[in-house]
Structure 1
Amino acid sequence: MKFEDFKAGSWVQQYQYKSFAPIPINQEWNWEDPVINTLLERASRALAELDAFTLIVPDVDLFIQMHITKEANNSSRIEGTQTQMDEAVLEAEQLSPEKRDDWGEVRNYIQAINEAIDELDRLPLSNRLLKHTHAILMQGVRGENKTPGEFRVSQNWIGGSGLNDAAFIPPHQSEVPELMGDLEMFWHNENINVPELVRIALSHYQFETIHPFLDGNGRIGRLLITLYLVNKGLLRKPSLYLSHFFERNRGSYYDALTRVRQSNDVTHWVRFFLSAVIETANKGKETFERILVLRQEIDALTLSYGKRAENVQILMRSLYRRPAITANEAAKLLDVSHQAASALLKKMVSDRNGTYLSFFGCPCVATSARAMDLDWTSSL
């Protein structure tokens, strides 16, 4: 299928509404647009350079966990949650009750990402994996009664209050199994020559158009991008997430998806997607570079703590993964008294005007100030 000849699908009359039936995408794809070739080359190079950093950053898995927390927060915010990045790293009891529901959605997403990535070590990307991930995402939060872990068996819609005023009505539920089966075959079809980044660009569009779940489609669809890149070996670690780019360019993101369905303009969508990969990968590289500088500075400063240097190293490893800790948690982690842990945290807070730690405006919670200087909420 040539992009320039692409027909996105057709509107199908149902009882009192029309749903959109996209064409299957498991086929050969090509294009005439030279801009796509240029963007594809740049995106592939940026992705490879980002991936290389995961081999040279010490204890990279600690930072990947923070990366995952940021992705969970950004992706959930697109869907309307109000949890801030500093709140996402806290425990539920440290938040006011009215914020805990949104916090729960973010925490579910973190768990869903981690389990999905672990599962890829044993199984290839599949609809079964997406269903399992969806079940984790929806447990105990809004949408938990909307058949978590199962493709929908009723009609859904996007925008509006119902089918009569919806902005978009995805395919009828009877079409979902076949369309998702076609999508899964597309991921693994070795008989067609389609670059992996183009495959996942088309796959993300198709997934969001099918909208196979009653709720949570946006988050699963964005996570699909990272799962695909890891599954295909383009990334050794889950180090690229596009949610922040999509959130900052929300209008353009939705417009690009809509233009495919309304105007068959898949070229515009693929351009937009590849541009997102380029910008996000480049920003990720810059953050990894700053992480390396941060680690060198902190390692040098730690030596000045003498006998307490080992405890500082343990604390910092914990803070790299989750940049918030109470004195009680530190005491338990280090197996020291509350007084000793509190004294060490206070010294780390004051050291070099907060090079190590500062407070989140709360005396019981300390966080890595330099990590915040690196702007975890807009970089990694």
Structure 2
Amino acid sequence: MMRQEPIKFEAFSAGEWIQQYQYKSFAPTLINREWLWQDPVINTLLEKASRALAELDAFTLIVPDVDLFIQMHITKEANTSSRIEGTQTQMDEAVMEAAQLAPEKRDDWTEVRNYVQAINDAIAELETLPLSNRLLKHTHAILMQGVRGENKTPGEFRTSQNWIGGSGLNDAAFVPPHQDLVLDLMSDLEQFWHNENINVPQLIRIALSHYQFETIHPFLDGNGRIGRLLITLYLVDKGLLRKPSLYLSDFFERNRSSYYDALTRVRESNDLIHWVKFFLSAVIETASKGKETFQSILRLRQEMDTLVLGMGRRAENAQQLLSQLYKRPSTTVHDVSELLGISSTAATNLIKQLQSDGVLREITGYQRNRVYLFERYITLFGT
């Protein structure tokens, strides 16, 4: 393959509008090449983002049984990323079982749980295979099973034109590339992830990759969620994170208009510098907040361990239950009975003690089928 000349951010041309029948679609510039920039602010942000990411990653080494807590990070990401797309599930609902929710809330809940499964499966797959379009397709198929969009070719790149905003192609806010270009564009993107012949820092590569993925919009539905998940998968694949502990959806949701504006500015004004700065700022803030969350988890866990030590003969069962609650902080008497192999009466008494100690809170108000939340823990992960 002939080596292409590097592109300077300052001289970047995002692509061209191509006339189709009755509408124009956007064909983005290929990105698998070397990139340069003159703006010194990018260097400073890149250094800060790399350091913040390394510090966050270090926490996954020092937090005992870190995988217990990673599941809650994943649940939060699934909930927040889905909320950007219009679901209404709250964090306390996301950790419950479908049967414990009002029927009208179950469709949104299913989208969130699909996302949790999609992340877990993708991370597991990365242990044996590199990041690839095939992995993204498989993840998309899981995301779309049995929910809105399940009839929009789950697990396959689109073979028809889609659009963003508006009611159709004629009044759309943005029309991604024609379907005939999708395979070549996604192939170029995949090559960019693994091209060792170019000198591009990994955080710059994934900043460019997220923009390019969202511009290509390769699936008929679910592009936002897969594109945001791509960021975490890339960081894990490249060894910048040992565990999937960084998710940018919370930052993107809180700064939603700025996020969409930054992507749009690249396409309309070739302003790649603004997007890269926005992305690196998102990494810095999110990694720093992630560190604070891990510190809060360590403090809470120490407090819980001290509490359990004073519970006498119930201590062992309480410790086992807490380990389960760190993964999924909602439970019932039946769940506790099954988990610990104890009678319903013993499970009820254990829950009552944890209620009186302020660990669990009952949220239904029912006499039967009560649901208890480890609320202080859920609060550490925000709404």
Calculate the TM-score normalised by the size of structure 2. 0.97
Secondary structure class of the residue paired with 1:214: coil
Q: Structure 1 unaligned runs (5+)?
A: none
Matched ranges for 1:47-86 at <5 A: 47-86=53-92
What is the alpha-carbon distance in structure 2 between the residues aligned to residue 369 and residue 81 of structure 1? Answer: 22
Matched, 1:118 2:96: no
Q: Structure 2 unaligned runs (5+)?
A: 1-6
Deviation at 1:295, TM superposition (A): 1.1
What is the match of residue 290 of structure 1?
296
What is the match of residue 310 of structure 1?
316
What amino acid does structure 1 have at the position aligned with 2:145? Answer: Q
Matched, 1:206 2:212: yes
What is the match of residue 253 of structure 1?
259
Secondary structure class of the residue paired with 1:176: helix
Matched, 1:360 2:368: no
What is the alpha-carbon distance in structure 2 between the residues aligned to residue 141 and residue 174 of structure 1? Answer: 27
What is the match of residue 4 of structure 2?
none
Matched ranges for 1:334-353 at <5 A: 334-351=340-357
What is the alpha-carbon distance in structure 1 between the residues aligned to residue 120 and residue 353 of structure 2? Answer: 34
What amino acid does structure 2 have at the position aligned with 1:185? Answer: Q
What amino acid does structure 1 have at the position aligned with 2:216? Answer: I
Deviation at 1:169, TM superposition (A): 0.1
What is the alpha-carbon distance in structure 2 between the residues aligned to residue 369 and residue 106 of structure 1? Answer: 19
Instruction: Give 1:88's match in structure 2, choosing from 89, 94, 107.
Output: 94
Does the 8 Å contact 1:46/1:282 carry over to 2?
A: yes
Secondary structure class of the residue paired with 1:11: strand
Matched ranges for 1:258-277 at <5 A: 258-277=264-283
Secondary structure class of the residue paired with 1:336: coil
Deviation at 1:361, TM superposition (A): 4.7
Instruction: Give 2:250's match in structure 1, choosing from 244, 263, 266.
Output: 244
Per-residue CA distance 1:321-357 (angstroms, 9 max, x = gap): 0000001110111111111101110110111xx1x22
Per-residue CA distance 1:287-328 (angstroms, 9 max, x = gap): 101111111111111011111100001110010000000011
What amino acid does structure 1 have at the position aligned with 2:243? Answer: K
What amino acid does structure 1 have at the position aligned with 2:165? Answer: G
What is the alpha-carbon distance in structure 2 between the residues aligned to residue 259 and residue 196 of structure 1? Answer: 22
What is the alpha-carbon distance in structure 1 between the residues aligned to residue 234 and residue 379 of structure 2? Answer: 31
Does the 8 Å contact 2:89/2:105 carry over to 1?
A: yes
Secondary structure class of the residue paired with 1:153: coil
Per-residue CA distance 1:219-265 (angstroms, 9 max, x = gap): 00000000000000000000000000000000000000000000000
Instruction: Give 1:144's match in structure 2, choosing from 144, 147, 150.
Output: 150
Query: Over aligned residue pairs, what C-alpha RMSD do you find?
Result: 0.8
Matched ranges for 1:91-106 at <5 A: 91-106=97-112
> Once structures 1 and 2 are overlaid, which stretch shifts more, 47-56 or 332-341?
332-341
Deviation at 1:369, TM superposition (A): 2.9
What is the match of residue 228 of structure 1?
234
What is the match of residue 191 of structure 2?
185
Cα–Cα, structure 1 residues 373 and 93, in superposed 2: closer, same or farther, change >3 Å? Answer: closer
What amino acid does structure 2 have at the position aligned with 1:234? Answer: L
What is the alpha-carbon distance in structure 2 between the residues aligned to residue 33 and residue 273 of structure 1? Answer: 15
Secondary structure class of the residue paired with 2:311: helix
Does the 8 Å contact 1:326/1:366 carry over to 2?
A: yes
Does the 8 Å contact 2:100/2:371 carry over to 1?
A: no
Does the 8 Å contact 1:86/1:360 carry over to 2?
A: no
Deviation at 1:373, TM superposition (A): 4.0
What is the match of residue 301 of structure 1?
307
Matched, 1:31 2:37: yes
Per-residue CA distance 1:163-198 (angstroms, 9 max, x = gap): 011000000000000000000000000000000000
What is the match of residue 3 of structure 2?
none
Per-residue CA distance 1:47-104 (angstroms, 9 max, x = gap): 0000000001111101000110000000000000011111111111111111111111
What is the alpha-carbon distance in structure 2 between the residues aligned to residue 212 and residue 377 of structure 1? Answer: 31
What is the alpha-carbon distance in structure 1 between the residues aligned to residue 32 and residue 374 of structure 2? Answer: 47
Instruction: Give 1:46's match in structure 2, choosing from 35, 48, 52.
Output: 52
Matched, 1:217 2:217: no
What amino acid does structure 1 have at the position aligned with 2:281? Answer: S
